[in-house]
Amino acid sequence: MSDLFSDLKQKIVHKNKRIVFPEGLDERILTAANKLGEEELLKPVLIGNKDKIAQKAKEMETELENVEIIDPTRYDKMDKMVQSFVKRRNGKVTEEDARRILQDENYFGTMLVYLSEADGLVSGAAHSTADTVRPALQIIKTKQGIKKTSGVFIMIRGEEKYVFADCAINIAPDSQDLAEIALASADTAALFDVDPRVAMLSFSTKGSAKSEETSKVAEAVNIARANNTSLVLDGEFQFDAAFVPSVAAKKAPDSDIKGDANVFIFPGLEAGNIGYKIAQRLGNFEAVGPVLQGLNRPVNDLSRGCSAEDVYKLAIITATQSLESSE
């Protein structure tokens, strides 16, 4: 685990990435921001009342070295932000609406990212996933060719490193959604130095069972392959056929996946969420994430039960993602 974050730190150090934390009064956020600032890995930007944040930090005996604080009520570029927000929302809000909405710290922070005043955003310690993701979808939006964002976990145990998706966002993806998730997950895997070998999972291997559910996955394979002919991707697979060489040799002998998949695309959120938690709790894997993918700029969602260390790690991941979006 330390090797992964050591590598990511080397990627972002001296890049001066600015990561926004809308929940500026949360103790876990303050602790992580202080650590990030002290190590000079990135520039933490806290959103909130400066006096209240300073008082909270004092109570915690936290210095907030190299940390910036922005108060939406005193932001000197608010007029420009309001105009940009109204334009981005295509007239769905008035200027008066925009001024009210932008007092919400998640909307305000997301606009900082959209306007290139920051490089990414981490929220969710005190907000729901919807509160974090909704502004991102409305303002930053998904990359061209991608209709929906999705959430991956990087599963780590010793030297082993795998990508599981979608485990966080899309409840019942269709074939097109699954293909998009697969392609985005391959890109995310590469960001974490995993050479992607993508398995599209089901309860069937290569037509061993026929149903609407298995046909959906098989069609997703065809769509994904048509959009990226160089990617090693196959399915539909049962998990053992994707992961165990001896089972792959029996069930899918002609596949490019030889029981050596490292990116696993689940057919729905129910399976994905259960799958990663089983690996985490029974297999003793560390689950890093969820990491949101498919957006034009990185926005990531914390669990409300997160620790300061979780905040610290997700900020590093977000800064790493921003390297790709700025290329």
Residue-level pLDDT at 57: 93
Residue that wins the pLDDT comparison between 9 and 128 = 9
**pLDDT digits over 143-187, tens only?**
988 899 999 999 999 889 999 999 989 999 999 999 999 999 999
Please give the share of the chain, as a percent, with pLDDT higher than 90: 83
Going along 136-245, which residue ranges are E strands? 150-157, 160-165, 197-201, 232-237
Residue-level pLDDT at 63: 86
- Cα torsion angle, 250, 255, 147, 306, sign: positive
Is 70 exceeded by the pLDDT of residue 325?
no
Give the pLDDT mean for 43-71: 94
Residue-level pLDDT at 305: 83
What is the edge-to-edge ordering of all strands in the sheet holding 299-301?
68-70, 43-47, 18-21, 120-123, 299-301
Lowest mean pLDDT among 161-175, 203-217, 292-306: 292-306
CB 188 within 8 A of CB 290: no
Q: What mean pLDDT, rounded, does the chain reach?
A: 93
Category of 267 on φ-ψ map: left (φ > 0), alpha (ψ -120 to 50) or beta: alpha
Residue-level pLDDT at 251: 96
Residue 232: CB atoms within 10 Å:
18
Residue-level pLDDT at 303: 81
| pLDDT interval class at 2 (50, 70, 90) | low
This prediction's pTM: 0.88
| pLDDT interval class at 326 (50, 70, 90) | low
Residue-level pLDDT at 290: 86
Spatial separation of the C-alpha atoms in residues 289 and 321, rounded to whole Å: 13
**pLDDT digits over 256-278, tens only?**
999 999 999 999 999 999 999 99
Lowest mean pLDDT among 2-6, 51-55, 100-104, 302-306: 2-6
Spatial separation of the C-alpha atoms in residues 52 and 239, rounded to whole Å: 50
Residue reference for tokens 């485990």: 167
DSSP 28-84: HHHHHHHHHHHHTSSEEEEES-HHHHHHHHHHTT---TT-EEE-GGG-TTHHHHHHH
**pLDDT digits over 100-156, tens only?**
999 999 999 999 999 999 999 999 888 888 899 999 999 999 998 889 999 999 999
Going along 150-215, which residue ranges are E strands? 150-157, 160-165, 197-201
Q: Which residues contact 217 (CB under 8 A, 6 or more apart)?
A: 175, 178, 200, 201, 202, 204, 235, 236, 267
